[in-house]
Amino acid sequence: MPSLAAKIFHPTARNLRMLASRLRAGELVAVPTETVYGLAANALSSAACARIFRAKGRPVSDPLIVHVERLAQIEELAVVTPAVRKLADAFWPGPLTLVLPKRAIVPDIVTAGGSSVAIRMPSHPVFRRLLRLTGLPLAAPSANPFGYVSPTSAEHVRDNLGSRIRFILEGGPAYIGVESTIVDLREPRRPVLLRPGSISAAEIGRVLGCPVRVRSSTKRATKGPQIAPGLLARHYSPATPVILHDSAADMSVSRNDEAYVFVRKPAGKRSLNCHWFDRRGNLAGVARTLFATLRRLDRAGYRRLHIEKAPGVDGLAAAINDRLRRAAAR
Ligand code: TXA
Ligand code: MG
């Protein structure tokens, strides 16, 4: 076996052409997206997609998201209804994934044998150039080992998967920082939110002209392919135990071998084990730094991480708190 020491490639025209040809040859390339870095393979090749599951240590019961550059590509993969077009007009390219009835061309390994496929059109300019050059739909889950915190930089990918893949495309820090919103749109008039992201259920409902039901994230499917990530309570988890708090007022900084992480920079005197996600508590900033902060503190040797939840119940707060709850689940 050749050694697979991953190398980070800057997005020059030459590197992009080389990586596109590696993808067409069935190899894996870690790619930047606006949400988190993904581990991409040709979505039309079962053998290429099987490599994703091996590299991540991901169970094959967990289906993949397929990324495309243009709407016309989706028609080949899935059934496109007027509701899909409305959402595409409003939110694509961007951090929204739609679960749609699939066509036969999509290999079973992508959908975990199910009859639906999850599709999104990403907005990251570097990833879009690569998609255009390959001319293929690319299946890509987040580029982390199964169950660990998602990567928001090329270095995060190398830290985790450096010995299992060869190619990482540099695209700078992911500028949204939490994974895409997933909506089940198999029945266009009965949309269901499967995973909260930066695009809220309310915004989607406004565009569709009907309410979006929020699937409870604790239920677990008993059979068939896994319906969305919420089914695994423990996901996105650091190795250090995480304890969540509803507000900063509930967090007394009492031990110096534990970390205290606040949404915003606390006023007054602070000890070295006090941290914060965003200086002003801006939720877009919290989302952007969330996973990098969890990774950094996971390596700092603390016994436990006390973390303040984001204020609010919908939009970005829902997405952030969903990830925090999973990080805290044991
Ligand atoms: O922002 C994102 O969506 C990132 C970037 C790389 O695009 N991708 C991502 O992929 O978060 P992943 O695999 O970490 O999470 C996607 C989740 C899976 O856990 C799976 O449960 C759900 O999407 N999923 C995929 N196909 C599905 C389907 N046909 N029906 C229901 N859920 C599906
Ligand atoms: Mg993931």
pLDDT digits (tens, 9 = 90+) for 128-153: 999 999 999 999 999 999 989 999 99
Instruction: Give residue 64 CA to ligand 1 midpoint distance, Å.
Output: 5
Average pLDDT over residues 172-187: 98
Top mutation candidate among 179, 181, 199, 236 for ligand 1, by most atoms within 8 Å of CB = 179
Confidence of residue 237 (pLDDT cuts 50, 70, 90): confident
How far is the C-alpha of 47 from the C-alpha of 52, rounded, in Å? 9
Q: Quick one: pLDDT at residue 219?
A: 47
Which residues surround the ion ligand 2 when the cut-off is CB under 5 Å?
A: 142
Instruction: Give residue 325 CA to ligand 2 midpoint distance, Å.
Output: 15
- Cβ of 111 closer than 6 Å to ligand 1, yes or no, is yes
Q: Quick one: pLDDT at residue 221?
A: 42
Look at residue 7 and give its three-state secondary structure. Answer: strand
Question: Which of 326 and 231 is assigned the larger pLDDT?
Answer: 326
Among the bound ligands, the one closest to the CA of 232 = 1
- Cβ of 227 closer than 6 Å to ligand 1, yes or no, is yes
Average pLDDT over residues 236-250: 92
Instruction: Give residue 213 CA to ligand 1 midpoint distance, Å.
Output: 18
- Cβ of 61 closer than 6 Å to ligand 1, yes or no, is no
Say if residue 93 is preceded by a cis peptide, omega within 30 of 0: yes
How far is the C-alpha of 118 from the C-alpha of 141, rounded, in Å? 11
User: Which residue's alpha carbon is at the smallest distance from atom 10 of ligand 1?
Assistant: 141
Decide: 117 and 100 in contact? Cβ < 8 Å.
yes
The tens digit of pLDDT for each residue in 53-67 reads 999 999 999 999 999
Instruction: Give residue 206 CA to ligand 1 midpoint distance, Å.
Output: 23
The two beta strands, 65-67 and 274-276, are unpaired
**Residue type at 219?**
K
- Cβ of 35 closer than 6 Å to ligand 1, yes or no, is yes
- Cβ of 229 closer than 6 Å to ligand 1, yes or no, is yes
Q: Quick one: pLDDT at residue 300?
A: 95
Q: Quick one: pLDDT at residue 232?
A: 52
The count of other CB atoms within 10 Å of the CB of residue 209 is: 9
Q: Quick one: pLDDT at residue 230?
A: 44
How far is the C-alpha of 51 from the C-alpha of 57, rounded, in Å? 10
Atom of ligand 1 nearest to the CA of 180: 1
Question: Which of 128 and 3 is assigned the larger pLDDT?
Answer: 128
Q: Quick one: pLDDT at residue 280?
A: 97
Q: Which residues contact 267 (CB under 8 A, 6 or more apart)?
A: none
- Cβ of 194 closer than 6 Å to ligand 1, yes or no, is yes
**Whole-model pTM?**
0.94
Q: Is the pLDDT score of 253 beyond 70?
A: yes
Least confident of 22-26, 247-251, 285-289: 247-251
Q: Is the pLDDT score of 269 beyond 90?
A: no
Q: Is the pLDDT score of 244 beyond 60?
A: yes
Q: Quick one: pLDDT at residue 223?
A: 46
Q: Quick one: pLDDT at residue 217?
A: 55
The two structure tokens encoding residue 179: 């994974």
The tens digit of pLDDT for each residue in 300-322 reads 999 999 999 999 998 999 999 99
60-74, 219-233, 236-250 — most confident range? 60-74
Mean per-residue pLDDT of the chain = 93
- Cβ of 171 closer than 6 Å to ligand 1, yes or no, is no
